[in-house]
A and B are shown apart, each in its own frame.
Chain A
Amino acid sequence: MGPHSRAGVRSLLTTKTMRGLHLSIWKTLSAWSVALALASSAHAALVWGVMHFAQGDEKPPRPLSGFEIVELPASMAAAEPKAEPELEPEAELEPEPEPEPENTEPVVESKPKSEPKPIMIPVAKLKIKPKPKPKPEPKPVTVAKEKVKPKPKLEKKAPPLAINKPIFKGTQNLAATTAYVPPSRHAAYLKNPKPVYPTKARKRGMEGRVVLRVMVRRDGKVKSVKVETGSGFTLLDRAAKAAVLRWRFAPAKRSGMAVEGTVLVPFDFRLTSG
């Protein structure tokens, strides 16, 4: 019995002192740190190598640098709230020249420069396409311009815009004095920033056209924004909505009196190979 317990204690002690016996603590520590350094440097080299090779054979799948958000002529979307017809795709193409006196395009073009929000500037240069003045159908041009892929989707989305035309025709016929003038976003003193093209959306090649239905109050502030025609991507719809919510409009007028009004604001989100 005696030897047994003594042996047990002894072996326990020797086990405890074994690490000390094996090598000095410093030697063990330095061996560990050498191993750690080796492992870390192997990983660093590997990461570096992967990055290096990734550069070699893989180029960005999407043109990230070039993109544009085009505000389409407001005329395409003017609507009187009362006479809102349902949007059915029957009135597809009625090429009709639209006189659009209030569309002072240069103002729009200067917008991004005076834009106070810092987000838009750094990512990439924002190309603003000079707006085709009163050209009723900017569509063929835009489609032809895009070389990036999601074509079918875009073309599917094209019809809804043309739909807005009959609405405009309706308002056009009213007599000038009692005319209902829809809310306008083009008055010179309004500095309405364009939407931000979300980086994620650009990376994933999301393109599309968003048409927003904006309720404008009498003071020109935005009462509500609804997505009239979605782009198909929540990201883009949200970006457009977020931008327009901060906008100021010239309120709608009926016989010279400011009234609440609705206006359709279309955006084209599209990527270019800039």
Chain B
Amino acid sequence: MEIANTEWMSWWSDADWIVRGVFIVLITLSVISWTITIYKAWQLSAAHKGEKVFLGRGQPVAGLPSAHVMTGLHGIEKSERENMAGALLRESRLFYEGGLTLLATIGNTAPFIGLFGTVWGIMHALQGLNGADALSMDLVAGPVAEALVATAAGLFTAIPAVVGYNLLLRKLRRLFGTAEGNTIRILSQPASTQKSEA
């Protein structure tokens, strides 16, 4: 453990601040993307479960798209109800989409950030060697391997973000498929039976 530790530390102390900054940024982005994925997965799953339980009967659990639709439809004239329901559903969708854009951005940009760190590191490594008249593979390979850590970190950040984004997108579609069905169920009910409170 100690050996590995010192080695990691030595890699760290070898890098300049640009490379270190890239590394820190990537780790932070990775933590953020994982947090978003975990939270949204839980949120969307819970909402989907609530929608499936509701199915147009009784009162939806607070916060569900159907609850938003139901609350918003209260007191709306019959001719406007359909339009209003669509708008409310879209609003609710916007709310549930929150965070997905950030996740997609992280997934797209993290590889480039990592690449930037690597290019920078290699540039510096080669500048350090400029005096050598005979470059052995060994001398070039070491610094390049060190610089590639940044690219690895970029991919390490990007892959889970992309996977998480696709997963959440799928969950979102499922949730709103059910929610749209529930909205139609709400609309088909006679207005008098609806209660305003959610």
The distance from the CB of B89 to the nearest CB of chain A, in whole angstroms, is: 11
Q: Determine the main DSSP class of A at the interface with B.
A: helix
Q: What is the CA–CA distance of A232 and B132 in the complex, to the nearest angstrom?
A: 4
By the criterion CB–CB under 8 Å, are A21 and B1 in contact?
A: no
User: Contacts of B143 on A, CB cut-off 8 Å?
Assistant: 204
Given A55-B1, A230-B131, also A18-B38 (CB < 8 A): no
Q: What is the CA–CA distance of A55 and B31 in the complex, to the nearest angstrom?
A: 25
By the criterion CB–CB under 8 Å, are A40 and B31 in contact?
A: yes
Most A CB contacts (10 A, CB to CB) among B5, B42, B63, B130 go to B63
The distance from the CB of A63 to the nearest CB of chain B, in whole angstroms, is: 13
Q: What is the CA–CA distance of A255 and B43 in the complex, to the nearest angstrom?
A: 94
The distance from the CB of A66 to the nearest CB of chain B, in whole angstroms, is: 16
> Residue A15 at the B interface, CB < 8 A?
yes
Say which residue of B14, B38, B80 sits within 8 Å of A7 (CB atoms).
B80
Given A21-B63, A32-B39, A43-B31, also A205-B139 (CB < 8 A): yes
- Size class of A's contact patch? 35 or more
> Residue B163 at the A interface, CB < 8 A?
no
By the criterion CB–CB under 8 Å, are B91 and A38 in contact?
A: no
The distance from the CB of A242 to the nearest CB of chain B, in whole angstroms, is: 15
**Which of B66-74, B109-117, B167-175 contacts its partner?**
B66-74
Q: What is the CA–CA distance of A34 and B142 in the complex, to the nearest angstrom?
A: 40
For B2, give the chain A residue with the smallest CB separation: A55
A:38-87 near B, CB below 8 Å: 38-40, 42-43, 51-52, 54-55, 58-61
> Residue A203 at the B interface, CB < 8 A?
yes
Given A35-B39, A51-B4, A200-B128, also A232-B136 (CB < 8 A): no
By the criterion CB–CB under 8 Å, are A206 and B91 in contact?
A: no
Say which residue of B1, B32, B67, B131 sits within 8 Å of A233 (CB atoms).
B131
By the criterion CB–CB under 8 Å, are B31 and A39 in contact?
A: yes
For B140, give the chain A residue with the smallest CB separation: A204
> Residue B18 at the A interface, CB < 8 A?
no
Q: What is the CA–CA distance of A114 and B193 in the complex, to the nearest angstrom?
A: 96
User: Contacts of B32 on A, CB cut-off 8 Å?
Assistant: 39
A:203-261 near B, CB below 8 Å: 203-206, 230-235, 237
As a 0/1 sequence over residues 68 to 95 of chain B, the CB contacts with chain A under 8 angstroms (1 = contact) are 1001100111001000100110011001
The distance from the CB of B20 to the nearest CB of chain A, in whole angstroms, is: 15
> Residue B97 at the A interface, CB < 8 A?
no
- Size class of B's contact patch? 35 or more
As a 0/1 sequence over residues 1 to 25 of chain B, the CB contacts with chain A under 8 angstroms (1 = contact) are 1011101101000100000000000
For B13, give the chain A residue with the smallest CB separation: A199
User: Contacts of A19 on B, CB cut-off 8 Å?
Assistant: 95
User: Contacts of B34 on A, CB cut-off 8 Å?
Assistant: 35, 38-39, 42-43
By the criterion CB–CB under 8 Å, are B80 and A4 in contact?
A: yes
Q: What is the CA–CA distance of A11 and B27 in the complex, to the nearest angstrom?
A: 39
By the criterion CB–CB under 8 Å, are B14 and A203 in contact?
A: yes
By the criterion CB–CB under 8 Å, are A11 and B88 in contact?
A: yes
User: Contacts of A61 on B, CB cut-off 8 Å?
Assistant: 142
> Residue B53 at the A interface, CB < 8 A?
no
User: Contacts of A152 on B, CB cut-off 8 Å?
Assistant: 134, 136
By the criterion CB–CB under 8 Å, are A15 and B138 in contact?
A: no
By the criterion CB–CB under 8 Å, are B10 and A203 in contact?
A: yes
By the criterion CB–CB under 8 Å, are A55 and B138 in contact?
A: no
> Residue B30 at the A interface, CB < 8 A?
yes
Most A CB contacts (10 A, CB to CB) among B3, B39, B95, B129 go to B39
The distance from the CB of A198 to the nearest CB of chain B, in whole angstroms, is: 10
User: Contacts of A11 on B, CB cut-off 8 Å?
Assistant: 72, 84, 87-88, 91
Q: What is the CA–CA distance of A39 and B38 in the complex, to the nearest angstrom?
A: 8
For A15, give the chain B residue with the smallest CB separation: B91
By the criterion CB–CB under 8 Å, are A31 and B42 in contact?
A: yes
Q: Lowest 9 CB-CB distances: which A-B pairs, in order?
A: A22-B63, A55-B4, A39-B34, A234-B131, A35-B38, A35-B39, A39-B35, A232-B132, A36-B35
Q: What are 5 residue pairs bridging A and B, where the CB atoms are less than 8 Å apart in the complex?
A: A22-B62, A39-B34, A43-B31, A200-B128, A205-B142
Known: A6-B75, A205-B142. 18 other contacts (CB 8 A): A3-B80, A4-B80, A10-B75, A11-B87, A11-B91, A14-B71, A18-B63, A18-B68, A36-B31, A39-B34, A39-B35, A51-B1, A55-B1, A60-B7, A152-B136, A206-B132, A234-B131, A237-B131
